[in-house]
Amino acid sequence: MCGRFTMAIDSDDVRTQLALGQMPLDWAPRYNIAPTQEVACVPFAEARSVHWFRWGLVPFWAQDPAIGSGMINARAESVAEKPAFRNSFKSKRCLILADGFYEWRKTGKGSIPFYFSLRGGEAFAFAGLWDDWEPKGVSSEPGLPGLTTCAIITTAANSLLADVHPRMPVILKGQAMWDWLLEPDVKRRLNLLQPFDAQQMQRWEVSREVNNPARDDPSLIQPAGGGLFD
């Protein structure tokens, strides 16, 4: 799964690196993005504007928005068929902007966090899904506003991640980003959901302070313990 990530690059640099449109005025560096928080998403390829969506997909048909806390990831292998995701896979795909992510290796002494990024440290996008939800029915909380939420698609881990975690987020760069949003053919769309090239990535162990979602500062991505890996 992908449960935490970073987007610490300046908004102007992100816009240039990924050829984006309008950026949010309240953009700020983030080093420990967690589920249920707002994340930077591009839902439409035409304008390429960046919007804030809440991380944890709530399908339009859900009775209770709390379902979103368990839907932060969607598996590439079942995303086209699973009821929670298939409508979004068909017509509401998005790019979720990042410059790195964390995964944890389970050991007998607890889980060890690692930070993964591209070798150049540049921005990229996760393949994502989004949906709009509005309260309905007697079970809805009075006055509860609508939500726009999203999920990150995951696939099998590449060789850099495999000894830490069996899954990784789907990373998109360049034309693959816009193909994900625009491709009408289901098979070609699914073919985009592959493990990213391990040779273009780097990793290192980081402090367990990242386990605390209240922490959000540059120290979280600094090498610790075993240091840098290729």
CA angle (214 as vertex; 208, 215 as ends), nearest 5: 50
Tell me the mean pLDDT in the region 12-34: 98
Say whether 94 is catalytic: no
Could you report the per-residue pLDDT of 82-129, keeping only the tens digit for each? 999 999 999 999 999 999 999 999 998 899 999 999 999 999 999 999
Q: Which residues contact 99 (CB under 8 A, 6 or more apart)?
A: 6, 7, 8, 9, 117, 118, 121, 122, 123, 124
Lowest mean pLDDT among 66-75, 132-141, 160-169: 132-141
Does residue 141 surpass a pLDDT of 70?
no
Q: Which is nearest to 205 in space by CA: 176, 185, 228?
A: 228
Mean pLDDT of the chain: 93
Q: Cα-flanking dihedrals φ and ψ of residue 63, to 5°?
A: -80, -35
CATH code, 97: 3.90.1680.10
94, 103, 150, 205: the catalytic one is 103
Candidate list 2, 41, 94, 150, residue with the active-site label: 2
CA torsion through residues 140, 141, 147, 150, sign: negative
Which percentage of the chain shows pLDDT scores above 70?
Answer: 93
Query: What's the pLDDT score for residue 1?
Result: 73
Q: Is the pLDDT of residue 143 over 90?
A: no
Kindly tell me if the per-residue pLDDT of 139 is higher than 60. no
Phi, psi of 229 (to 5 degrees): -120, 150
Domain of residue 139 covers 4-229
Q: Which of 225, 228, 166, 168 is nearest to 195 (CA)?
A: 168
pLDDT at 230: 45
pLDDT digits (tens, 9 = 90+) for 173-222: 999 999 999 999 999 999 999 999 999 999 999 999 999 999 999 999 99
As a whole number, mean pLDDT of residues 4-28 equals 98
Average pLDDT in the 161-169 region? 97
Per-residue confidence band for 135, with pLDDT thresholds at 50, 70 and 90? confident
Q: How many domains does the chain fold into?
A: 1
